[in-house]
């Protein structure tokens, strides 16, 4: 009798430990974690010079190492997404934060969003010009206001009040950027090859079973002043829901907005029980126009999927199974990266 009761107790314990609550908070007994990052899709890395390739790889390795360190010591998915994207924003070789591209008025206007898969909380900023780390302000919007998205001046006033580091707009005119966008220094790479690539994103499944996603960008180079892309739009460039997956996109924002790309991946999983792999594949190969960009995603079990329909996407992935990889080259269409078994 005693043995029988103990058995029932154990079974109940297992159910409770793996249950998903109504808020989406997944209770899990697993200590596994997974993280994926991107540093933009587009162009062809095969045409980049060795220095540019190295800068990208070093930058992604640094960000991914930080994510790995935090996740293995039990940090939350949300904290990891913010910390990793902050590192990428401070690295001028990406089109986010310091390295942001310029619009037609010669100004950097930055966009970012972050989402917590545990409760669907999310925050975003768009069109900010004096904020050093837009991802941090996006998180403050999420946690300190009843709103989801603040834009331009209002976002900047809020950022100041919330204690975010302010910079002079000249901070964004980094040497990498001047070379990239300003033909007057005579050192510009071809417009086609080096146009607007380098948006950054991060998706995480932490040890506690929680998912989070974030994306940050300077947008597309030579965009009209005031143009806002997909990156700060929850559902287009970023989405996370503990019951399904966390997703971040990079590419021609207008296409991601039209296709509600990040949320559509979740919707396929939710309404058609599609696997993450098939949902991302459908979006990249059947919905988004060819050459429009890529997606990174992680599902509730920690499975990582990264795909693009451009020649290259800078990306990296790591997991508690020992995976740690950064790369610039293409994953051929219809191939995804699995965690090692
Ligand atoms: N999606 C970004 C935007 O349209 C740009 C990019 O990812 O390259 O603003």
Give the pLDDT confidence of 190-217 residue by residue, as tens digits: 333 346 589 999 999 999 999 999 999 9
| Catalytic residue of the set 199, 215, 220, 250 | 199
Q: Is residue 21 part of a domain?
A: no
Q: Is residue 285 part of a domain?
A: yes
Task: Please identify, by atom number, the ligand 1 atom nearest to the C-alpha of residue 41.
Answer: 8
- 48 lies in which domain range? 31-337
CATH number at residue 300: 3.60.20.30
Give the pLDDT confidence of 171-191 residue by residue, as tens digits: 998 655 444 544 433 333 333
User: Going edge to edge, which strands form the sheet with 200-205?
Assistant: 149-151, 121-128, 110-116, 211-217, 200-205, 34-41, 313-319, 324-327
Residue 337, both tokens: 């990266």
Q: Is residue 8 part of a domain?
A: no
Task: Please identify, by atom number, the ligand 1 atom nearest to the C-alpha of residue 254.
Answer: 4
Q: Is 232 in the pocket of ligand 1 (CB under 6 A)?
A: no
Which residues, other chains included, contact 147 with Cβ-Cβ below 8 Å and sequence gap of 6+?
A: 123, 141
Which residues, other chains included, contact 63 with Cβ-Cβ below 8 Å and sequence gap of 6+?
A: 37, 84, 85, 87, 88, 91, 202, 316
Give the pLDDT confidence of 134-170 residue by residue, as tens digits: 999 999 999 999 999 999 999 999 999 999 999 999 9
pLDDT above 70 covers a percentage of the chain that reads 81
Distance, CA of 77 to CA of 202 (rounded, Å): 10
Cα of 84 from ligand 1 centre, angstroms: 18
Distance, CA of 233 to CA of 247 (rounded, Å): 12
Closest CA to 20 of 190, 235, 244: 244
Q: DSSP character for 10? A: H
Q: Which pLDDT score is estimated for 174?
A: 64
Say if residue 91's pLDDT is above 90.
yes
Residue pair 106/230 in contact by the 8 Å Cβ criterion: no
Distance, CA of 293 to CA of 238 (rounded, Å): 14
Distance, CA of 62 to CA of 73 (rounded, Å): 17
Q: Is residue 231 part of a domain?
A: yes
Q: Is residue 2 part of a domain?
A: no
Q: Is residue 191 part of a domain?
A: yes
DSSP codes, 13-44: HHHHHHPBPTT-PBP------EEEEEEEE-S-
Cα of 138 from ligand 1 centre, angstroms: 17
Neighbouring CB atoms inside 10 A of 334's CB total 10
Coil, helix or strand at residue 134:
helix
The CA R_g of the chain, rounded to the nearest whole Å, is 20
Candidates 85, 198, 231: which one to mutate for ligand 1, based on the most atoms within 8 Å of Cβ? 231
Provide the number of structural domains found in the chain: 1
Say if residue 262's pLDDT is above 50.
yes
């Amino acid at each position: 009798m005693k043995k029988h009761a103990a058995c029932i107790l154990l079974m109940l314990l297992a159910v409770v430990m793996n249950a998903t609550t109504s808020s989406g908070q997944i209770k899990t007994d697993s200590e596994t974690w997974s993280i994926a990052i991107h540093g933009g899709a587009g162009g062809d890395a095969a045409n980049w010079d060795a220095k540019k390739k190295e800068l990208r790889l070093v930058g992604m390795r640094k960000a991914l190492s930080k994510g790995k360190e935090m996740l293995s010591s039990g940090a939350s998915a949300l904290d990891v997404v913010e910390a990793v994207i902050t590192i990428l924003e401070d690295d001028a070789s990406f089109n986010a934060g310091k390295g942001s591209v310029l619009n037609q008025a010669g100004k950097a206007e930055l966009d970012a969003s972050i989402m917590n898969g545990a409760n669907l909380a999310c925050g975003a900023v768009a069109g900010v010009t004096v904020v050093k780390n837009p991802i941090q302000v996006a998180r403050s919007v999420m946690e300190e206001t009843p709103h989801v998205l603040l834009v331009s001046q209002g976002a900047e006033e809020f950022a100041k009040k919330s204690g975010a580091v302010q910079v002079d707009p000249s901070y964004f005119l980094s040497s990498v950027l001047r070379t990239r966008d300003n033909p007057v220094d005579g050192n510009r790479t071809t417009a086609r090859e080096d146009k607007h690539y380098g948006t950054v994103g991060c998706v995480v499944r932490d040890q506690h079973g929680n998912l989070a996603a974030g994306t940050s960008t300077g947008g597309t180079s030579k965009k009209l002043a005031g143009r806002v892309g997909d990156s700060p739009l929850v559902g287009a460039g970023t989405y996370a829901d503990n019951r399904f997956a966390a997703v971040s996109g990079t590419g021609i924002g207008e296409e991601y907005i039209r296709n509600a790309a990040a949320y559509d991946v979740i919707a396929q999983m939710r309404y058609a029980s599609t696997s993450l792999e098939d949902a991302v594949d459908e979006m990249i190969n059947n919905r988004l126009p060819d050459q429009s960009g890529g997606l990174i995603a992680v599902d509730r079990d920690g499975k990582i999927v990264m795909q693009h329909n451009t020649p290259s996407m800078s990306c990296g992935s790591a997991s508690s199974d020992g995976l740690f990889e950064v790369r610039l080259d293409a994953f051929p269409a219809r191939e995804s990266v699995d965690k090692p078994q």
